[in-house]
């Protein structure tokens, strides 16, 4: 049995889960691949901190892990983009394979990191960076390698999905559902990364890289979170036959353009992705040969994440043992560009608060018509009081810039009471 030494940098929740689950996994890895993983070095920020027992005495200087000749593979689990980049850079320069779960690092600094990996001919393994224990990246890289991908979509943030599920199932408002997520440990005290869509956008950038060989500039990805979602929108969506999910969309537009976005989106209630509840994740895609494919499972947590980390470690160890170069992203510098958000075409849900007066609906519909935007459905509920009523429109496919012009014109009507709420609609196939 060939034994491969690994070094672990960072021993928080994810690192502890990896170390805890390694012994049982090692038996299976040895049986299936003929290699064994041995932890040779561990680095932590504070070695005096109380933590679960570690198999070896940790050090505080991560450089010692990388320089240790017994360490053949380095696992980076510190998070963030500053120290993590320095660790990744040093690992690749030392020509040691890098395993990471750090989606922010890859999404925000991958344009620096992946060329370095190619230059040093050293692979980066990052299955755990997207959708936890769901093997979606390996599915893209291996199982669907013969397919031209016509598009991807995903629920790839468990916290937001839990919040929206509670709003749909229990009738909770956003603030109540968010607090429940925090009480259960799904949401951090600082909920910005999850609730404002940033975490999902990190993962969407990585999916774009694997699917289309193009890593978009992270600051150019349109991102909307779920803070603006109100319980009435959840109810109106249900009446129209939809559910609301925070959805990442990645799809080619023409020969050299890609659309990548994250936004709360209405999905048909009958679609399989609409039934992904709680903190679960799902990624769907359409291959020209495979047709629709959906991966579903736990998207976070130490056990689910360590499952993906151990799969990467097993692959890296096998490649080291066989002296194989491992997977290098040769097409990571594909010349493509993101479409301008204003050029995005799609269907939309629009809710407008107006005075309850005759003729207002006709005025609003006329403005949509002037922008050549068709209307699929209209809801005009009664009994909202205070002389106002919500008008809910489900629109046909339209250019986003045309919708914005229409909504700006509607806002100027004397009977309009509040800014419009606009949500995406995806029928999916």
Residues paired with 421 in a beta bridge: 351
Assign residue 30 a region: left if phi > 0, alpha if psi is -120 to 50, beta otherwise? Answer: alpha
Backbone phi and psi for residue 391, each to the nearest 5 degrees, phi listed first: -105, 125
Cα–Cα distances in Å, from 381 out to 13, 14, 210? 48, 48, 45
Cα–Cα distances in Å, from 278 out to 111, 155, 247, 300? 33, 11, 14, 12
Closest by CA to 279, choosing from 370, 347, 184, 206, is 184
Strand, helix or coil for residue 232? helix
Token pair for 412: 């100027």
DSSP H helices, 240-391, are 302-322, 360-370
Q: ∠ at Cα 96 (91, 99), nearest 5°?
A: 75
Cα–Cα distances in Å, from 18 out to 232, 300, 312? 42, 13, 12
**From 96, 203, 245, 318, active-site residue:** 203
Closest by CA to 15, choosing from 289, 259, 309, is 309
Closest by CA to 26, choosing from 6, 46, 56, is 6
Strand, helix or coil for residue 245? strand
Strand, helix or coil for residue 252? strand
Give CA–CA dist 270/72, Å, rounded: 48
Give CA–CA dist 281/164, Å, rounded: 13
Is 203 considered catalytic here? yes
What's the half-sphere exposure (Cβ side, CA atoms, 13 Å) at 414? Answer: 2
In 276-362, beta strands by DSSP E: 280-287, 291-298, 337-338, 345-355
Token pair for 266: 């209405």
In eight-state DSSP terms, residue 59 is B
Q: Which residues are catalytic?
A: 203
């Amino acid at each position: 049995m060939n034994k491969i030494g690994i070094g672990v940098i960072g021993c928080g929740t994810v690192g502890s889960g990896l170390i805890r689950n390694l012994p049982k996994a090692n038996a299976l890895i040895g049986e299936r691949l003929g290699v064994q993983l041995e932890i040779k070095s561990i680095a932590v920020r504070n070695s005096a901190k109380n933590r679960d027992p570690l198999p070896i005495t940790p050090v505080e200087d991560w450089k010692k892990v990388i320089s240790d000749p017994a360490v053949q593979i380095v696992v980076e689990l510190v998070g963030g983009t500053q120290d993590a980049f320095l660790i990744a850079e040093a690992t690749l320069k030392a020509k040691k394979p890098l395993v990471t779960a750090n989606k922010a690092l890859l999404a925000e600094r991958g344009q620096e990191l992946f060329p370095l990996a190619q230059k040093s001919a050293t692979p980066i393994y990052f299955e755990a960076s997207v959708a936890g224990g769901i093997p979606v990246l390996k599915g893209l890289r291996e199982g669907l390698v013969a397919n031209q991908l016509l598009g991807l979509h995903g629920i790839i943030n468990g916290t937001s999905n839990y919040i929206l599920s509670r709003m749909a199932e229990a009738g909770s408002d956003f603030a109540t559902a968010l607090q429940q997520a925090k009480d259960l440990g799904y949401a951090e005290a600082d909920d910005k990364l999850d609730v404002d869509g940033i975490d999902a956008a990190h993962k969407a950038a990585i999916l774009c890289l694997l699917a289309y060989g193009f890593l978009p500039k992270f600051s150019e990805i349109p991102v909307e979170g779920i803070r603006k979602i109100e319980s009435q929108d959840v109810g109106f969506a249900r009446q129209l036959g939809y559910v609301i999910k925070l959805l990442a969309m990645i799809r080619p537009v023409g020969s050299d353009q890609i659309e990548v976005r994250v936004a709360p989106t209405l999905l048909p209630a009958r679609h399989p992705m609409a039934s992904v509840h709680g903190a679960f994740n799902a990624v769907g895609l359409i291959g020209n040969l495979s047709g629709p494919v959906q991966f579903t499972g736990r998207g976070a947590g130490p056990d689910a994440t360590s499952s993906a980390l151990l799969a990467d470690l097993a692959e890296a160890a096998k490649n080291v043992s066989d002296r194989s170069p491992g997977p290098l992203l040769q097409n990571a510098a594909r010349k493509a560009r993101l479409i301008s958000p204003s050029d995005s075409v799609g269907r939309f849900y629009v809710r407008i608060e107006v005075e309850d007066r005759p003729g207002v609906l006709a005025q609003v519909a006329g403005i949509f018509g002037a922008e050549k935007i068709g209307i699929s459905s209209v809801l005009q509920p009664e009994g909202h009081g205070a002389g106002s009523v919500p008008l809910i429109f489900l629109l046909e496919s339209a250019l986003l810039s045309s919708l914005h012009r229409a909504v700006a014109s509607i806002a100027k009507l004397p009977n309009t009471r509040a800014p419009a709420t606009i949500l995406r609609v995806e029928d999916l196939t």
